[in-house]
A = this chain, B = another copy of it.
């Protein structure tokens, strides 16, 4: 009884992992998709779909939510962006060659995201650990919360 949101997430998960593996068709970067990608690239933090929508409307467009979600979904499918499930926001994929298993380091203070590929030794250990519980991992992005370098050194400062 997975609901609509789950099926969407799974679809995004599946497609996003074909990133940079030659499995995907040639990009069809329509003006809409380019616009959304540029907005994500211009942001130093993940953006929610409605933050993207607000910025587009601030530029004078008349976009509605479905148009934003379609463009975002496409970018995620093509591996050009990631959807961070744990905070429900979108970021550009900062690497040209992202892996099936990757880590997204999300700073809980400033909200910035770093992407890291997962070390094979770490993945092997993780896989064997969960296998002890009879569990098999599907390719995914690990969303890890913590503090980035900058926020470690200014940890007391509230962020606005």
Residues of A bordering B, CB below 8 Å:
1-2, 5-6, 9-10, 13, 85-88, 103, 105, 107-108, 111, 114, 116, 119, 121-122, 125-126, 129-130, 133-138, 140, 142-149, 152, 159-160
Contact = CB atoms under 8 A, between A and B. Distances in A.
B133 A105 contact: yes
A122 B147 CA distance: 19
Contacts of A114: 133, 135
A60 to B, nearest CB: 23
Is chain A's interface secondary structure helix, strand, loop, or mixed overall? mixed
Contacts of A10: 108
A140 B145 CA distance: 7
A84 to B, nearest CB: 9
Given A135-B146, A138-B108, A140-B145, A122 B119 contact: no
